[in-house]
Structure 1
Amino acid sequence: MASPALARLADPFEAVTRQLTSQIADERVEVAVFAYCDGHGRALGFRHARSGLADAVELPVRRIAIDALAFDAAVVMMAHNHPSGEAWPSRADREVTRRIAAALRVLGVRLHDHVIVAGRRRWSFRGAGLL
């Protein structure tokens, strides 16, 4: 159940994004988090992928697709952190986002956003017009 502070937000997708990003903001290794949501932005399930490395995390498209189907999700939201402090997406970040969005689209699932977290700074693929 969402906390009252998250529930008061007008946009449920924003509430889920805040929940995802707050979980990883202070991690010292790269961690990716996924929220599998219904079409109204209500979270149906979550997945964390921890790498153990400060500069990379594996994002297996197949696993993400399997989870989306298992949760019967209409929307997936994802975030990962950059412990280096730089919130700008790398070329690999852009490519994996493109691949995940394309794979989910085939399944009738939309990748709503991919947010990169670096401490208190955030960078959004959706906000940049890339999703």
Structure 2
Amino acid sequence: MERAKRRRVRIVDSLEAARGLFAPALTRARDERLYVAHLDAGRRLIGVRLRFAAEGEPIDLPVRGIIADAVALDSNEVILAHNHPSGDPTPSITDIETTRSLLRAARPIGLTVRDHLVFGGGDMVSFRERGLL
């Protein structure tokens, strides 16, 4: 009898779990990157999408692309994470405004934006902890 391959299920149900998912890729990155983790109803990771910024440009938050991926993956929640190569993890006005645009677009399809994390200089800022979501 052939054994079925077991896929490791990753649960992302806390800030620490989200930090553990994104920190290895974002704490040392020299270019700006945006990751979007897609989660199912049990907060199991079902997909991660990555976008790079153009050299010297800030990262673009692709609201339409995130919504399209969420529909394609049948996501219940997303967690965004990006880095500020400058070393300052403070969310910019643009970070806040585009995240709010995503919140408005996600609401009608029942998609929850669980958090948006910004990494920089070895630190991390959570939009949820700061009351920005």
TM superposition score category, shorter chain reference: 0.7 to 0.9
Matched with 1:102 is 104
Q: In the TM superposition, what is the alpha-carbon distance from 1:60 to its structure 2 partner? A: 1.3
Structure 2 CA distance for aligned equivalents of residues 116 and 72 of structure 1: 25
Gaps of 5+ in 1: none
Query: What are the within-5 Å matches in structure 2 for residues 1-131 of structure 1?
Result: 1=8, 12-14=13-15, 15-131=17-133
How many residues align? The count is 125
When the two chains are superposed, the root-mean-square deviation of aligned CA atoms in Å is 1.8
Q: 1:106 to 1:21 in 2, by over 3 A?
A: farther
Give the % identical residues: 34
| Cα pair 1:28 1:54 within 8 Å, conserved | no
Matched with 2:3 is none
Q: Which runs of 4 or more aligned residues in structure 1 lie more than 4 Å from their structure 2 counterparts after TM superposition? A: none
Q: Deviations over 1:78-130 (max 9, x none)?
A: 00000000010111000011001111112110000000000320001001112
Q: Deviations over 1:46-87 (max 9, x none)?
A: 100011334501111110000001110000000000000001
Q: TM-score if structure 1 supplies the norm length?
A: 0.87
Q: In the TM superposition, what is the alpha-carbon distance from 1:17 to its structure 2 partner? A: 3.7
Amino acid at match of 2:48: F
Q: What secondary structure sits across from 1:77 in the alignment?
A: strand
Structure 1 CA distance for aligned equivalents of residues 123 and 78 of structure 2: 21
Gaps of 5+ in 2: 1-7
Amino acid at match of 1:122: M
Bigger-Rg structure (1/2): 2
| Cα pair 1:13 1:41 within 8 Å, conserved | no
Q: What secondary structure sits across from 1:12 in the alignment?
A: coil
